[in-house]
Amino acid sequence: MDFPADLPTRVARARHVIFFTGAGVSAESGIPTFRDAQSGLWSRFDAAELATPEAFARDPALVWGWYEWRRMKVLTARPNAAHEAIAALAADCRVSVVTQNVDDLHERAGSKVCAHLHGHLNRPRCIDCGSPARHPAGIPAVVEDGARIPPPTCMKCGGMVRPGVVWFGESLPPADWQAAMEAIGSADLLFSVGTSSLVWPAAEIPVWAAQHGACVVQVNPQPTALDEIAAYNLHGAAGCVLPALLMAARTA
């Protein structure tokens, strides 16, 4: 794979690299994105319409069932070459992973994630008192084409347990947002990987990184709103581009 002549050297000399990742990274592991066609029961719904507080209030079993289906997909998936390349770079320099994904594939590949901006499937909590809850061990017994599943109840107050994700219309977790902002302050290189750069405020992160002097590299099969800001636009699947770039950097 060919890269701009100076890019591998930039990567090799970087002191602090941020990987800002989106759904495209996990899609390569088979995790459906919100833009993918749904199947079975879910085909009658727009995925974005299920990811709201209003949807949970109207039909908790529908929304909980959908997230259990997504959690099943994650638990049966494996980190791909992009996750592994990101983790491998941490042996060469400081790496901060800031992700919009709600799965744990970065962690399973060996990365330490400094910010899960949109929450985490494995961190459910009570919708009333906010107490953390736990999923039962193992893979959810969810049929492939979807089913309504009543959410569990909180052990402390008896309220309904909700998925530990950030729904549309909700604020991002303050601690994760702060961690992302602190990472921007010292990064000299930022990779925006597999994200459409359309979901705000997370989409501001590469822009702010560029304003703080970081070199921004975009890895995405398609053009995005970030094209004009990124110093380098690498069009391709992250699972192909990142391992090849890491190898080139180590021989630069």
Question: What is the DSSP annotation of 216-231?
Answer: EEEE-SS--TTTTT-S
Q: Cα separation of 118 and 134, whole Å? A: 18
Q: Cα separation of 118 and 69, whole Å? A: 18
| Angle of helix 81-89 versus helix 238-250 axis, rounded to 10 | 30
Q: What are the catalytic residues? A: 118
CA dihedral over 17, 27, 104, 109, signed as positive or negative: negative
Question: Measured at the alpha carbon of residue 204, what is the angle toward residues 200 and 205, in degrees to the nearest 5?
Answer: 120
Burial of 90 (0-12, 13-18, 19+ CB in 10 A): middle
- Listed in sequence order, the residues at least 6 apart from 216 whose beta carbon sits closer than 8 Å to its beta carbon are 190, 192, 206, 209, 210, 226, 229, 230, 231, 232
- Listed in sequence order, the residues at least 6 apart from 201 whose beta carbon sits closer than 8 Å to its beta carbon are 172
3-class SS letters over 164-180: CECCCCCCCCHHHHHHH
For residue 185, the surrounding DSSP H or E stretch is helix 174-186
